[in-house]
Amino acid sequence: MGLDAPVPQGLVLVAIWFLWAVPFQLLAQFLTDHFDLVSVADGWTKGWLAPPEHWWGVTQSTRVVTTVSDVLVTVVMFAMAWFYQRAVTSKRGTANDLGFSRPLLELPGEGCSSANSDRHLCCLYFWASAVTPIRVADNFRAANVLSFWTPLWVYLLSRVAALAIGLVPGMLGGIPSLSTQLAQGLFFALRRPQLIQSVEEMQSSLGEESHLEDRSQDVGRNLVTYSFLCCWMAVADAEVVDSVERLRLEGCQAVVGRPVRTKE
């Protein structure tokens, strides 16, 4: 799909992300108000963290609501990541362990029906937009570039860093998240060439020609897309990785093509 995807597909990704994020924000706001967490935070920071002088500064309420929301999202995300790793990631590359000379794979069911294709896209869009770090982790793990948990720890550290930056007196609103998004984007942009190279090697080992666009070396472009369109990049990379491994998502499970012996 990449950046050339039709606008409706992009809107679907944004819609899923929005519908997923809003409940966490609403719950965080409810918990903050119900337990008066802003007053608690004021007590902890009294004497060293003054209120912002201007309306565009980071307020104590913003810090508390954002932190509570981040905690809720992180707990749910790591629980889902634990499940996803066992249901999908652990099934990748199984053909390499079955004693075949090359892991040539047949597509599940020999010809994916439109219904199966639609289910796969729905699942792919959900994982890539609602819990983007999980799908990014799966992509880089499938290409043997990063361990599955590394992108998730990167996400967690970025949210802790955003909180720390937000505690700086006079910090402008939006700067903490913006700066950590750019840091995450740079981390993945510098490693995407390795992902593309790994996928091309897998395609070569299967006797397939690579049709990947030679944009992986454009660090600037990858920085922007991984920073601000990460769900889009997650789908683009996933489509390539899953097609090479003949993997299809059905619900929350992975269906992998069966290995066949190479013709001599």
Residue 250's DSSP bridge partners are: 253
Choice between 245 and 8, residue whose per-residue pLDDT is larger:
245
Choice between 173 and 3, residue whose per-residue pLDDT is larger:
173
Give the pLDDT confidence score for residue 150 in this predicted structure: 97
Lowest mean pLDDT among 1-5, 37-41, 205-209, 255-259: 1-5
List, for residues 172-206, the tens digit of each pLDDT value: 888 999 999 999 999 999 999 999 888 888 878 76
- How far, in Å, CA of 177 to CA of 159, rounded? 8
Q: How far is CA 178 from CA 29, 173, 189, 224, 227, in A?
A: 22, 10, 16, 12, 9
Give the pLDDT confidence score for residue 54 in this predicted structure: 63
Residue 88 has pLDDT above 80, yes or no: yes
Could you state, in order of their start, the residue ranges of all structural domains in the chain?
Answer: 2-44+58-91+113-251
Give the pLDDT confidence score for residue 119 in this predicted structure: 78
Give the pLDDT confidence score for residue 19 in this predicted structure: 87
Tokens of 31: 């918990």
Give the pLDDT confidence score for residue 156 in this predicted structure: 97
Give the pLDDT confidence score for residue 13 in this predicted structure: 83
- How far, in Å, CA of 165 to CA of 54, rounded? 17
The string over 28-41, giving b where at least 16 C-beta atoms fall within 10 Å of a residue's C-beta and e elsewhere, is beebbeeeebbeeb
Closest CA to 152 of 168, 164, 140: 140
Give the three-state DSSP class for 110: coil
Phi, psi (rounded to 5 degrees) for 212:
-75, 140
List, for residues 46-75, the tens digit of each pLDDT value: 767 766 656 577 888 999 999 999 999 999
Percent of the chain whose predicted confidence (pLDDT) is above 70: 76
Residue 94 has pLDDT above 50, yes or no: no
Give the pLDDT confidence score for residue 57 in this predicted structure: 75
Q: Where are the alpha helices (DSSP H) in the chain?
A: 7-34, 37-45, 60-87, 114-129, 132-142, 150-166, 175-189, 192-205, 219-228, 230-244
* Through-space distance between the first and last CA atoms of the chain, rounded to whole angstroms: 35
